Amino acid sequence: MGKVMVTTVDASEVAKFEAMSAEWWDPHGKFKPLHMMNPVRLDYITTQIAGEFDRDVTANHPFDGLRILDIGCGGGLLCEPMARLGATVIGVDAAGGNIPVAQTHARQSGLDIDYRHTTAEDMAAAGEQFDVVINMEVVEHVADPQAYLTACQQLLKPGGLHLCSTINRNPKSFAVAIVGAEYVMRWLPKGTHEWQKFITPDELYDLISKAGLTPVDRKGYVFNPVTWRWSISDRDLSVNYVTAAIKPA
């Protein structure tokens, strides 16, 4: 009998993103919110990696020698910049339709990125390990956040860095992420997010800690409707936010 793999993948969530896969690199398409948010996401990610591994981001290929995993990589919006910074990058996604899109774009960009249609659990079971695990806007789409974050912890080398962003659960996040993004601005197809699956910063810190990681930082991503730009906030974690945690050495 074949080995039964444990997974926290939610098939209905995967199907949503599979349907949108061809649009990943269209800055005006269904992933417009991610393209707009990408500069602040990258700023946070590169700052945290540089701080943890004592790298100078102004140097040529500052992330040389670092093995980075991006879970839920989509079309590769974060994988490509990490590869340009010199990291060895593996991008995985449970939505198989995203992988050829990411592979094609990486080829066109002259980048060597290892994209795989697999899950965090399968990679952890195979014993793979990384210096950095990037886990952006995935945890609110999985069936079992605790099991999923435990797999992320297993994928890290001792002293490794885990970066995880998600959406807070409160009346404001319902108004902004659901009503605003999906119904008013039509940024995302209706049903992309389920408000009850959103996780508060304290809940996420608790889940991360129970998974065996030490939380070290959290910041908010704040959208300004006047300037139409995102920025990072030390205080406002009311809707989108990001965390950093370390695997004890």
In tens digits, the chain (249 residues) has pLDDT values of: 444 445 666 677 656 655 555 688 889 887 787 888 899 999 999 999 999 999 999 999 999 999 999 999 999 999 999 999 999 999 999 988 889 889 999 999 999 999 999 999 999 999 999 999 999 989 988 999 999 999 999 999 999 999 999 989 988 877 776 545 543 444 555 555 665 778 999 999 999 999 999 999 999 999 888 888 999 999 999 989 999 999 999
pTM comes to 0.86
CB 163 within 8 Å of CB 134:
yes
